[in-house]
Structure formats: C-alpha cells, structure tokens
Chain A
C-alpha cells in the first residue's frame, strides 16, 4: 500500500490520466485518485473532436501541438485510441462574420495551419449530405488535419501506460480533504487513506471548484450542462466534423458509423443538473435535419448529458496558485479539455518535474482573472 507519492492527481479523466503518464515517464511517483471510474465525468461524455481552428493565437498553437502528439500517440502508448483526421468543416452563416473569419484564417495560416475558405458549392464536396440552403451558409472553413479520437480508448491508453510506468490509480475513492501546512501542500485524505505528497493536481473537471474550496481557494469556473445525441449506425457517409458557431451545432460520424452531435439546449442550465431534456432533443433534431435533411430517416438511440467547466474567458486554468505552494490547477477547459490534454499534460509535467514553465502556462495562470485584461476565446460550440 502506497501512502507516499511525488504527485497526487485528483481526477481520472483525460487530463488526469495524460498528466499521470507524462509524469511517470519522467520517473515521478504518481497517484491518481478518481471518485468514480476513469473517464466517467466530462471525458466519457464528450464529442471528442480535435480542432485547431480557434480565434486566439494561443489556442491555435496549443491545438496544433496537441494534434502532433495525437498523430503519434497510438505508437507511443502502444494502444489503439481511434484517432482519425477527417477535418472540421465550420459553416459561415452571416455575411458580417466573413471579415472575422478571414482574420482568423490569416492568423491560423501564419502559424502554419493548413486551412481553406470554401465557397458554398464546395461544402458538399466535403460532406455530401449537407443542404447548404438549409444550413443558411454562405461558405465554410475547412482544416483537413482536425479530427477525432475515442475518449474512452484514449483515456485508458494513457492510464495503462502510466500504470505500467509505476502510477497507482485509486478508483471509487473520494477526496475528503487536501492537507496543507503553512501554505504548503502535504497530501490528501481520501475516504480510504491518507496519501502524502508535496504536489497535488486539481484535474477534477466540473468538480474542480469543490476541490479548490477545500483549501479556501475560490475558482471562477461555472459548470454548464450540455447534451448530446447519438444515432444508429450506418455506412460511412462523411469524415468531417460539421460545426456552426451561429447555431452552436456540431456533429460527426463516428468510427462505428453512428452520428454523434450536440447543440446548446434551448434553456441554459448552470449547476449540477444531469437530466436529459426533451426540448434539447427536438431542437437538435430540427437543426441537424435542417443541415442534413436525409438524417430525418435515421433513428436516435440515446441522449445524455455532461458538463462544460467554463471559465470567464473560455480558456483553461493551468499551473500553480500563489496562495498554496504545490497546488497545481488543470481545469476550466470550457468544452475543449479532451483535445488539449496531450499538450497540456506535457507542459504541466515539465513544470512539475523540471520546474520549467512556458509562456502558455504563464498566460493561462489563474492570476489573469485578477486583471481586467482577458482575451476571450470566441470559437466555442455545443
């Protein structure tokens, strides 16, 4: 029984498991404490898209680095993660958005991203079932290296690799308290045991707020309930993820052939309400069949909910906090935690083990909320 570690990670989602792997690779003794099962929170409920088309410079760079890691991750972890690059097709719905789109694309290209602005006619070359008129689309952007991975397989692959490198993973274990002394982390107390460690990482997703509150730290994060549907399987029709910022919709065809997608529910719900709603289901059905009328004949087989852990600027909170030495934050991904996990895990592992910070971590530190100078990520869906 281990009761001592170098790092305790709270949360067995994609970010906790990816960080455990990156730390264990650097000869660090890690314990992951998960209240339920791996990927039981937002990770296993998410759309699992991987996108590099963002409005902030920083998010584009982070996402591009993440894609590079995803591209060789199956080889590195020695397991299938269902990664494929079918591209993201982002509908442009309003003439007045065109200027912003052109600016974003110019910025994305300057960072080396392969991205095109498509005429309306070219949209159905990428996704044949789309009805450009029904979408009310005047064009689209398309990045062929955007893609998707299986959130369960990816989390398990990271967790397995971490486990084989010496990480202990405690499932169905709840954090009761975070132990500190003179403003310095000492470890955690779970409902089963005490684990001593000089570093504790808060990677509890939508529940990070409660974890931080255990040491008197107030987070600005708000949990938003999000809903998703999945259809029956069908033969492969398209490879791209289709999204629209105006309608908030996203959908793609998964490896097994089912179509999975979401849209913001008609009523915005904050707090920890998990109930799926009929109003979401009908809103999603109306919108997805407007985008792709042929889908009216396809059966929905399941809908479920999950949380976005949303920060005031829709960007994650990463790195240390001033008040407590050794308490590292890794949350607030605002709906983009899956796609950023590979690069975030590397950056945080470098910070924790090599005490090497990066400009990204400086910008994404919680201290930014004390200023009024926030750069909000605009490109958010779902």
Chain B
C-alpha cells in the first residue's frame, strides 16, 4: 500500500477510488479526501497525486491545474504573528 499524503494519511488506493467516484481535479481530491490539507500543504504529495490523477483520467500531467496555494505556506506559530501588533 503506497501512502501518498503523509500528513492526512491517504493511500494510492483511496485516491484511485475517489477519482473513479468523480474527482477529476486536484482540488476535488483535496475537498473529498483532505489531500494536501496537512502541515506540508501538498509539498510532499501533490506531484505524486498529480501523476495518479493523470494516469487514471488519461490526461497529461502538464494539463492538470494545481491546488490553490494558501498562505502562510509554511507553518507559523500563532505567537509569532501576534508580535508588534496591538488591537
């Protein structure tokens, strides 16, 4: 069993099942499985998932649109973000 998304513990079989269930974009996989929603924000799993999606849906990997990247991109402690701010 190949683990693809380590943060959210999602394996290849689950991704293939979700694709056959109607997930045809990386964003669909994110919404359905939480793929790429963990601390690494897709840096580990996204390319692997893209290869599976391209293979299962007969698309070129270059044609897939990526998941939207969200700030702050790397995990940042809340305490750091409060410094020098007053409300």
Contact = CB atoms under 8 A, between A and B. Distances in A.
Interface of A: 37-40, 44, 152, 156, 231-233, 256, 276, 278, 281-283, 285-289, 295-304
A276 B32 CA distance: 23
Interface in B49-79: 68, 70-72, 75-79
B70 A303 contact: yes
B79 to A, nearest CB: 3
Contacts of A286: 81-82, 85-87
Interface of B: 25, 27-28, 31-32, 34, 37-39, 41, 68, 70-72, 75-79, 81-82, 85-87
B82 A276 contact: no
A305 to B, nearest CB: 9
B78 A288 contact: yes
A137 to B, nearest CB: 16
Given A37-B27, A304-B70, A299 B87 contact: no
Contacts, number: 80
Given A282-B85, A283-B87, A300-B72, A289 B37 contact: no
A299 B82 contact: no
A278 B81 CA distance: 9
Contact of A296 (B32, B77, B87): B77
Contacts of A276: 70-71
A322 B22 CA distance: 39
22 contacts: A37-B27, A37-B28, A44-B31, A152-B31, A276-B70, A278-B71, A281-B71, A281-B72, A282-B85, A283-B87, A285-B81, A285-B85, A286-B85, A288-B78, A289-B78, A289-B79, A295-B78, A297-B79, A298-B77, A299-B39, A300-B77, A304-B70
